[in-house]
A = this chain, B = another copy of it.
Amino acid sequence: MRSAVELRHAHRLLNHGPTVLVSTAHGGRQNVMAAAWVMPIDFEPPKFAAVIAADTLTRELLLASGECVLQAPTTLQVDATYAVGTHSGRDGDKFARFGLVAEAASLVQAPLVAGCACWLECRRLAEPNAEGAYDLFVLECIAAWADDTLFARGDWQFAANGPRTIHHGKGGGFFATGERVQAARG
Contact = CB atoms under 8 A, between A and B. Distances in A.
Interface string A3-15: 0000000001001
A169 B15 contact: yes
Interface string A119-133: 000000001011001
Given A12-B169, A17-B36, A179-B176, A49 B155 contact: no
Instruction: Tell me the number of copies of this protein.
Output: 2
Contacts of A47: 134
A39 B39 contact: yes
Question: Interface of chain A, helix or strand or loop or mixed?
Answer: mixed
Contact of A175 (B154, B174, B180): B180
Interface string A131-157: 001111010000000000000001110
Contact of A129 (B79, B80, B83, B129): B129
A78 B182 contact: yes
Interface stretch (A24-32, A59-67, A160-168): A160-168
B136 A49 contact: yes
Nearest to A78: B183
Given A80-B186, A167-B167, A172-B183, 16 more contacts: A12-B170, A16-B17, A16-B175, A17-B19, A17-B39, A41-B134, A41-B135, A42-B51, A81-B183, A130-B130, A154-B170, A156-B169, A175-B178, A175-B179, A176-B179, A178-B178
13 contacts: A12-B169, A16-B175, A17-B19, A39-B51, A42-B51, A78-B181, A79-B184, A81-B183, A83-B183, A127-B129, A155-B169, A172-B183, A176-B179
